[in-house]
Amino acid sequence: MTFKVIGKTIDLKSGSHVIYCQASPERYLDIVGERFGEFSIQRKRETHKAYKRLKNDIIEGSLLPSITLSVKHHLVDEITKSFDDDAVLERLLSGHDVVDILDGLQRTFILSDIKSEGIQFKENQELLLEFWLEPEISKLIYRMIVLNSGQKAMSMRHQVELLFLSLRETIVNKVDGIEIIREKDTKRRTQPNKYSLNNIASSYHAFITAQHETDKENLVAQRLIDEDAFDSTEQELTEQFEDYIKYLRIFYELDQLCWQHYTNLDFDRLFAERDDDNLQVQRDALEDAAPWLGTENVMLAFFGAISQYINLGKKNRVDNALASLIEDAKNAGITDPLGIVSFNTVKSGLNARKTNVGFATRKLIATGFKEFFREDGEVKLHRCWPSAAE
């Protein structure tokens, strides 16, 4: 199985190092591993008729367009140090769990199918691989979000999701204790420190677009929102990312506290000798409250609402409100700091026949948090949810 460096260059705009390699199909599949398609944030497998023809062409030895790979962000510095040593580069770049597929997922699926069917690739058949190395987060964000917008027919949300494949380790290092799960089918959270990579990426998209909806039905409106983000400078994107990390740390702390708060409630004491149906509904809401903050709807609405207030020059209100909420979560004398009982009551009034419940739920959460920020946290969340309802 062959693998060799055939060329190197530097992107003059970003300063990113780019390495071009030649590899046999077998070696390439060994590099990306068997789980290359299991991450939920990657594009789903396509079934176009053209892919059947492409499969036959590959079997006959056709040369494919180059596949673009991103070296995992936490490994970039180490590999860049060996940029002038082809032998070391070949060893490092051909290792396991070193890269993510940025462009070429469908081709990889086809190559994997051919191998699994026991079909032998042609002797001397080669693939062209393009490895991108970028140590600066700001430049990586700028390249992935802005530069790719003119190169690929890909939504901004998908570009952000691909970006976070490479930034996963960086975020883990910046938010102490957080664990980001990449499995395709993430089950209900059973621990407060775990979040799906899909939810983290979507929350960042909500933050940079200041929207709680990442895929608007109105495509023109979505395009205008995305184009506004595309117009951001590298410095602006860097500052946005640092702000996002700041509020992700706060969100993470709040999630830990709320998880502990709700799981430590003495439900038997709170609802002792009570047999009222409404009280049972309240108890059910409180017993299910611990994982609430880490759900996709809440994360989208939470970060979208924060961004809107920051853009209005009201960051102090957001900070004050979140500090107040953290104190409430620490206070054992407050039963329901998130106002989950009130929220569920308001949500139950949504008319599923007249509105998309998912959209309405995200709007309710976002509006409730904005009401909470507007009041500097002095009006508690359980009172904000009814005010947020239309």
- The predicted pLDDT at position 41 comes to 43
- The predicted pLDDT at position 231 comes to 57
Q: Tell me: pLDDT of 15 over 70.
A: yes
Q: Tell me: pLDDT of 226 over 60.
A: no
Q: Tell me: pLDDT of 236 over 90.
A: no
Q: Tell me: pLDDT of 279 over 50.
A: yes
Q: Tell me: pLDDT of 388 over 70.
A: yes
- Which residues does 68 contact at the CB level (< 8 Å), separation at least 6? 101, 102, 103, 104, 130, 132
Position 118, amino acid: G
pTM, 2 dp:
0.69
Q: Are 3 and 23 in contact (CB under 8 A)?
A: yes
Q: What is the pLDDT of residues 60-79, one digit of tens each?
A: 998 888 998 888 888 898 99
Provide the 3-class DSSP secondary structure of residue 94. Answer: coil
Q: How far is CA 189 from CA 171, 196, 275, 289, 365, in A?
A: 19, 9, 30, 12, 20
User: What is the average per-residue pLDDT within 240-254?
Assistant: 94
Q: What is the pLDDT of residues 122-132, one digit of tens each?
A: 989 999 999 98
Confidence of residue 224 (pLDDT cuts 50, 70, 90): very low
Helix (H) or strand (E) holding 299: helix 296-311
Q: What is the pLDDT of residues 78-115, one digit of tens each?
A: 999 999 999 999 999 999 888 888 778 889 999 999 99
Q: What is the pLDDT of residues 23-59, one digit of tens each?
A: 999 999 999 988 776 544 445 566 656 678 888 889 9
First-last CA distance in the chain: 63
- The predicted pLDDT at position 50 comes to 63
As a whole number of Å, the CA-based R_g of the chain is 24
- The predicted pLDDT at position 211 comes to 84
Q: What is the pLDDT of residues 307-323, one digit of tens each?
A: 999 999 999 999 999 99
- The predicted pLDDT at position 6 comes to 95
Would you state the torsion angle of the CA atoms of residues 11, 12, 14, 17, taken in this order, to the nearest 10 degrees?
40
